[in-house]
Amino acid sequence: MRILHVVQRYWPGVGGAEKHLQEISERLVRDGHEVTVYTTDAGDFQYLWDGRKTPLETLEEVHNGVTIRRFRLRHFPLSYRTFPAMRRALVMLSDLASLWPDALGERMEGVWVNLLFRLAHYMPWVPGLARALREAHGQFDVVAGMTIHYESLLEPAWRHARREHIPFLLYPLIHLAESERSSLRRYHTMRHQLALARASDVVFAQTGLERDFWIRQGVAPERIVIGGVGINPWELAGGDAARARARFGLARPIVLALGAAAYDKGTFHTVEAMRRLWARGVEADLVIAGAVTDGFARWLRASERGKRDPRLRVLGSVSDAEKCDLLAAASVLALPSRTDSFGIVFLEAWLYGLPVVGAAAGGIPDVIVDGQDGYVVPFGDVEALAQKLARLLADPDLARRMGEAGRRKVLAQHTWDHVYARVRPSYERACERRSNPV
């Protein structure tokens, strides 16, 4: 097969979508297929909407057998302000569109759907990618796109597949957030985005909760495959707790927040929860390891009033080796996020035998078995989060049992080899249907 993958960022970018598609792409190559990735030049993930951030310079290269083509992002003036405003306007227009029926229904040809896609074309704006897709005649047998809220990349990929009469596979990585009317869910379930999912030949859901959502939205059940997310245990081996403690000066039990520091990731709430525990005499360090968004940096400065508690350590991005050392040293992982369709970091923590605390949002309630391998709390409920963290810090035996249960689950179900075995047949069947049309 000649496969085209389309995604907002790829290696060397660090993130859930980036890692997910890299693992699938490289396994397809090892199985003898040709894989090309079309992506953007975003180095810093915030460059997708903020032109002040850093792009990548290398536009074409081959990595582990995968051909990578990066296309330049274009930004409007003051894009860090105009992009969010344009996105909010798009959500409002999608809500407004739901009040008027469309003679063509909710299909990709619908008037409202087409209008929304035309406006979304600039969020983010990658004109070179769309142009390359229009010119790529006869080059691919299958197209797969990832991350539904970057529909400006996925819609031209879908149209290319239809022009070429080849299958289009979708990894939505949808963020269902904490409720149906959540502003975050509205960003990921706009009318045109849902139309794209319904028009896809295969939709890869991450969890059973996500599968049920797509069925309610009109995606045929037989087109939905639960692929899930995984890790490579060997990549995470070798973590050294003593090395982490010595390098970062950590002497107390550690609550680890791993991943981008942002409101929607629950980082604000984790900091507030730990402040409550510190006020109650709980001695533990909060270590935040991951890219620090501008919004979190501003909030932290304002909330500290010029004085940072020494038990709060904001490390920023860390190397893979440092991440493993921190996992080995930690007592519990906290990711009370509403923007994770699955949450790879839960798997990483479980591999190291850590209990986890997540939020009742997105697919997380399908990932964490509450009370068995971790806890699930309402998104934004600082007191509930504080209580669960306190319980795990105070009861090492409970924490150990939960962590061991999580580790068993990871090794049985959630390696990248498991995920690939679940999604590979969909690529093969899609090509078979193309070769043998009914």
Q: Which residues of 345-381 are buried (b: 16+ CB within 10 A; e: fewer)?
A: bbbbbbbbbbbbbbbbbbbbbbbbeeeebbbbbbbbb
Map residue 435 onto helix, strand or coil. Answer: helix
Burial group, residue 412, by CB count within 10 angstroms (0-12, 13-18, 19+): exposed
Neighbouring-strand partners of residue 61 = 68
CATH topology classification for 234-413: Rossmann fold (3.40.50)
Upper half-sphere CA count for residue 70 (Cβ side, 13 Å): 22
The answer to whether the bond into 378 is cis (omega within 30° of 0) is no
What does the pLDDT read at residue 438? 42
pLDDT score at 233:
97
Of the candidates 114, 120, 113, 85, the one whose C-alpha atom is nearest the C-alpha of residue 98 is: 113
Identify the residue whose tokens are 């990483």.
Answer: 348
Q: Where in the chain do CATH 3.40.50.2000 domains reside?
A: 2-230+416-433, 234-413
Task: Reply yes or no: is the peptide bond before residue 12 cis, omega within 30 of 0.
Answer: yes
Using DSSP's 3-state secondary structure scheme, residue 135 falls into helix
C-alpha pair distances (Å), 342 with each of 173, 339, 354, 364: 8, 9, 17, 6
Mean pLDDT in runs of 10 for the chain (438 residues)?
A: 97 90 98 98 93 95 98 95 94 85 64 90 96 94 96 97 97 78 77 94 94 94 96 96 97 96 96 98 97 93 87 95 98 94 92 97 91 97 98 98 98 97 94 60
Structure tokens at 12: 């060397």
Question: What pLDDT is attached to residue 161?
Answer: 97
* Unique residue bearing structure tokens 């149906």: 180
Considering only the top CATH level, what class is 2-230+416-433?
alpha beta
